Amino acid sequence: MTEINKPTLSYLAHLDGLRAIAVFYVLLFHFHLYGTTGGYLGVDIFLVLSGFLMTRIIVRSVSFGKFSIPTFIARRFWRLYPSLLATVSTTLFISLFLFPPRLQQGIGASSLAALLSVSNEYFRQTSGYFDLKSELKPLLHTWSLSLEEQFYVFWPLLIIAIHRVQLKPRQSIPIVMTMVAIISFQIAVAMKRKHSFVFFGLPSRVFEFAVGGIVSHFYNDITARMNKAGVHNIISILGLALVNYPMFYPSSSNLPGPAAIPTLFGTLMLIVTPKSEFSSCVLSSRLFRYVGKLSYALYLVHWPIAVYAPFFSSTTVWPGTLMIVTLICALALHYGVEQPCRLNRRPVHSAMIAVVLILTLTIATKSVTTEGLPSRMKYARYPLNYLKYARAYNKKKCPWTRKPRGCKIGTKKELEHPTAIMVGSSYAGHYQHALRLLAARQNYSFWVIWAGNCPPVFTKTKGVRNSLYCDEENEYRKTFFRSLPPTRVLVADIWSVRIAIKWDSHKPELPTFRGYLRQLKKDLEGMGHTMAIVIEPPLLHGIMFAQREACRFRNTMLPHSVKCPDDFGMEAMRRQFRRNFMNLLRNDDELRKLPIIDVAKQFCDVNGVVPKCHEMMRKENLIVPKGVDINRVNPVQTTMFLDGYHLGPFGSWRASPAIENYLRFNKSNV
């Protein structure tokens, strides 16, 4: 009788040790310790282990006719949900004192998603160019928990279905799991352009669970054939190398698929070698087993601590301190919530969970529906609906074109012959408010064509992220501009950073960035168009911008203040990049002829000097369209920028005079 057909399953101590390794790498990665740039692969180890263990449990129970989906889900609930609820409720409560409305609305939505086990889908749908970065999402790590909870529903149904159709389970289960793994892997590879879908989605992650399930089915056969300790040791060493190497030297892609294969195979090798010296002496040791049992609590608390730590210190928090605080909080969660609810459940636990769940759902829902609970604020409330004005891509005001991606702004009569076309990356898209303002004031019309992170060129690019997507968009653009009569083309990008990127560094013979610009100018002029360069405004680092906004709010809510980031405008490095780009234009015989729309001058002097930037941001200097009461806008800085990288509505309006001056003095199309 194989183990999986026994009434009970034996405890595999080395698997707890594997959990310890997985959570250790995740912590090192998130706390930026010891160069573990691939530490996020610790999550992949968890997924393989989950597939292995759950398959053992489900197949064993189904084989004996004792499996019940409600019982299985209830056991998983009491194993995972109380600790998750405690983490979410505590994180949400702390955010009330740290996060301003714009961030509070996000954590309210992510709290609801985490408690409903759909946070992976929430973060998939909300990730993007104008989204806040991970450093300000304290519940971002719950995506993997939602993924597992969805797997706990899908996997039992699959195994039960195999038994119900009268197939031979011993042969058919691994075959079906292999087919599922292959299909899932193909989805991960085929959909790699849709980064968020592949990273967060269950369809592209199922193969990681499935390989664990396949090995669990043959676990006894594999270990029985490897009856010599030497074989276990050799395979264990290979597995350890495959697990460790990507942690320190990861693939350029963090997506599941080919990049995850070494980690998956390494994990499987360690699973099937319980008799190796490494498994016996290290993974099965008391310390590793203890950390493994604590791994769930460690994983839950570590990321909120990493996000909130900067709000309680004026200096960078030492990673060792984060480790210690994480360990203390994990012990409290493990012994205060996880263990009692799992091993010693009482009616009072159910009552407490119900009360906390209702309170948490109420606060989270209020945070979403009131746009961040602005009534908490001790300074002037946000009277404007921030998100309403920040959504630059409103379909009603800006009808979409699909290929290339963009929209049209102005009256229907003038749209067929636009005053100008703005083209570029997302730094073309964030001028839509400015163009809409000019269309209303001067009866202009515009087309805006943009693709996030894609340089505005017509040639293939090798030195940027999402190059395949960008090449496709650029081809659409080229075909599109060929079909148009001569017009003015305003080319916008984050030039100061783009010039700092090593374009095609792996192929020096390919054109440089200067060559890309020359080719773009040649292409547009060959089509009869006139090209102008739009220089980006002074920009903040997106995380620094949002953290400073949150830091100021935190200082109004808590008695002890901390020092907030205060560098406004272009930092020294960004200023140098700007100078480099301007010098590139001036020193090139072809590019120096291009008209320049220097939007930065609307915000501060050409070098981004901080005092003048602050003067420009004063309320009396704002430029707003009709219908917006300037006296109701406070504080200004929270709406000038959308995320620190891009302009918000007020910043976009502020940039409009620079664009208007160019159009006024360059009236001819050719």
Q: Specify the pLDDT at position 600.
A: 79
**Are 594 and 535 a contacting pair, CB within 8 Å?**
no
Predicted confidence at residue 417, as pLDDT, reads 79
Amino acid letter, residue 291: V
For residue 449, the SS3 value is strand
The contacts of residue 159 (CB under 8 Å, 6+ apart) are: 55, 58, 59, 62, 173
Query: What is the average pLDDT across 637-653?
Result: 68
Instruction: Please report the pLDDT score of residue 637 as a whole number.
Output: 42
- Contact, 416 vs 666, CB < 8 A? no
Which of 550, 643, 635, 565 lies closest to 98, judged by CA? 550
Q: Which residues pair with 421 in a beta bridge?
A: 447, 489
CA–CA gap between residue 408 and residue 414 (Å, rounded): 10
Tens of pLDDT, residue by residue over 11-65, are: 899 999 999 999 999 999 888 876 677 888 899 999 999 999 999 999 888 888 8
Q: Which tokens belong to 282?
A: 């290290």
What rounded mean pLDDT belongs to the chain?
A: 80
Q: Distance of CA 237 to CAs 208, 233, 283, Å?
A: 21, 6, 13
d(CA 466, CA 473): 11
The answer for residues whose C-beta is within 8 angstroms of residue 567's C-beta and 6 or more apart is: 544, 610
What per-residue confidence (pLDDT) applies to 461?
Answer: 62
pLDDT of residue 616: 47
In DSSP terms, 450 is beta-bridged to 424
For the record, the structure tokens of 145 come out as 């928990």
**Nearest Cα to 158, choosing from 183, 124, 128?**
183
**Rounded CA separation 232/278 (Å):** 9
What does DSSP assign to residue 136? G
Write down the pLDDT at residue 473: 80
Tell me how far apart the alpha carbons of residues 76 and 383 are, in angstroms, rounded to a whole number. Answer: 44
What DSSP character marks residue 392?
-
Concatenated DSSP letters of 51-100: HHHHHHHHHHHHHTT---HHHHHHHHHHHHHHHHHHHHHHHHHHHHHH--
Task: Name the more confident of 390 and 13.
Answer: 13
pLDDT at 558: 77
Question: Looking at per-residue confidence, does 623 or 526 come out higher?
Answer: 526
Assign 633 a pLDDT band (cuts: 50, 70, 90): low
DSSP state of 641: B
For residues 119 and 88, give the distance between their C-alpha atoms in angstroms, rounded to a whole number. 12
Which has more confidence, 659 or 600?
A: 659
Give SS3 for 406. Answer: strand
Q: How far is CA 601 from the centre of its chain?
A: 32
Least confident stretch, 15-29, 115-129, 231-245, 403-417: 403-417
292: confidence class by pLDDT, cuts 50, 70, 90: very high
Nearest partner of 82 among 325, 332, 356, judged by Cα: 356
Domains of the chain (ranges plus CATH)? Answer: 3-374 (no CATH), 387-539+571-634+646-665 (3.40.50.1110)
* Average pLDDT value for residue range 611-640: 53
* 418 within 8 A of 487, measured Cβ to Cβ: yes
Across the range 545-569, mean pLDDT stands at 66
* Mean pLDDT value of segment 504-528: 70
**Confidence band of 468 (pLDDT split at 50, 70, 90):** low
Instruction: Report which listed range, 172-186, 433-447, 649-663, is most confident.
Output: 172-186
Q: Are 32 and 254 in contact (CB under 8 A)?
A: no
Q: Helix, strand or coil for residue 313?
A: coil
Number of residues written out for the chain: 670
Supply the pLDDT for residue 506: 39
Is the backbone peptide bond immediately before 404 cis, with ω within 30 degrees of 0?
yes
Least confident of 161-175, 551-565, 644-658: 551-565
Half-sphere exposure of 491 (CA within 13 A, CB side): 23
Identity of the amino acid at 74 = A
Provide the pLDDT for residue 129: 38
The residue behind tokens 């409560």 is 93
Cα–Cα distance for residue pair 438/657, rounded to 1 Å: 9
**Is pLDDT of 647 > 60?**
yes
Judge whether residue 266 has pLDDT over 80: yes
Helix, coil or strand: residue 399: coil
- The per-residue b/e assignment along 377-391, b for 16 or more CB within 10 angstroms, e otherwise, is eeeeebebebeebbb
Q: 575 falls in which pLDDT band (50, 70, 90)? A: low
More confident position, 251 or 658: 658
For tokens 């690019």, what's the residue? 461
Strand partners, 406: 401, 449
Q: What is the DSSP string of 649-660?
A: HHHHHHHHHHHH
Give the pLDDT of residue 407. 80
Would you place residue 488 in the very low, low, confident or very high pLDDT band (cuts 50, 70, 90)?
Answer: very high
Mean pLDDT of 339-354: 88
CA nearest to 271, candidates 240, 230, 302: 240
Q: Are 202 and 166 in contact (CB under 8 A)?
A: no
How many angstroms separate the CA atoms of 661 and 244, rounded? Answer: 58
Highest mean pLDDT among 29-38, 292-301, 489-498: 292-301
Q: Determine the pLDDT at residue 385.
A: 38
Compute CA distances 496 → 30, 77, 485, whole Å.
29, 51, 31
Residue 525 and residue 523: Cα distance in Å, rounded?
A: 6
| Residue 377 to residue 554: CA distance in whole angstroms | 10
